[in-house]
Amino acid sequence: MEGGQTAAGFHASKVCVLVGASNPVGFCLAQSFLETGYRVAVGDLDPSDFSSLTAVSGTNLFPVKVNLNRDVYVNSMVDQVYLRWSRVDILVNIAFRRRELADPLSATDLGLDAVSNLIRVTSAFGSRLQGEELAVVNIAWFDEKTLLEADREAVLQAALRTTTSAMAKKYFNLGLRINAVHARNARSTSCIQSETLRTLVQAVQFLASSEMSGKLTGNVLDIDLKPEDIPFRG
């Protein structure tokens, strides 16, 4: 960095919000953004998963309990984040669904559920911008414990791509850059052990950084499994 400024120091005043974060992807992203100097808010029904990060990050990590299916709870999270830090620079929406919740849903319902949450959260945070920019990254990710039938994954991927493109056009003149990442069946392991998770984190950081990706918006990056990441099934 110019003037000897470290990456952590450069990002010290910036805020990243991870929504739907109680899963390996959310944990890896929170850890990565904290290490590079961001203040990070993580929202999910059970943010207690981040207690180990809170111990080392202190007030730079803000866990928030939120039900993404209800406007009132999403708006409450927005209010809490802005009350605490007065800004949001990066918003990451993780469309993650555990098997016990996914199985009863049809492919169509699964897609509609993901789309409604992406729109709800992005709109809530986007409405608070006042001439500032917000980088939004949507993620569709399922680990090997939540493998979907081909039709369900195809529907979710199509929903992610269509919604990201539509929102990018809608918010183009309002300061929002909206892109997405689709990762297929990454293993539920740490970032150190999973090449796919490391690649996903790098993709999110690339899309979230205007210095690296410029004004890129409305795009979806697909991440395929590395051979060493393919789950063994005996």
Q: What is the mean pLDDT of residues 186-196?
A: 68
User: What are the counts of helices (DSSP H) followed by strands (DSSP E) for the chain?
Assistant: 9, 7
For position 222, what pLDDT does the model report?
Answer: 87
- Could you give the C-alpha distances from 142 to 8, 75, 82, 89, 202, in angstroms and in order? 30, 26, 30, 26, 18
Mean pLDDT score of the chain, rounded to an integer?
82
Q: What is the mean pLDDT of residues 141-152?
A: 58
Predicted confidence (pLDDT) at residue 118 exceeds the cutoff of 70: yes
Q: What is the mean pLDDT of residues 186-205?
A: 78
- pLDDT level of residue 154 (50, 70, 90 thresholds): confident
The residue among 139 and 131 whose pLDDT is bigger is 139
3-state secondary structure of 63: strand
Query: Domains of the chain, with CATH numbers?
Result: 15-99+107-223 (3.40.50.720)
Report how far Cα 33 is from the mean position of its chain's Cα atoms. 12
For position 234, what pLDDT does the model report?
Answer: 35
- pLDDT level of residue 72 (50, 70, 90 thresholds): very high
pTM value is: 0.86
Predicted confidence (pLDDT) at residue 190 exceeds the cutoff of 90: no
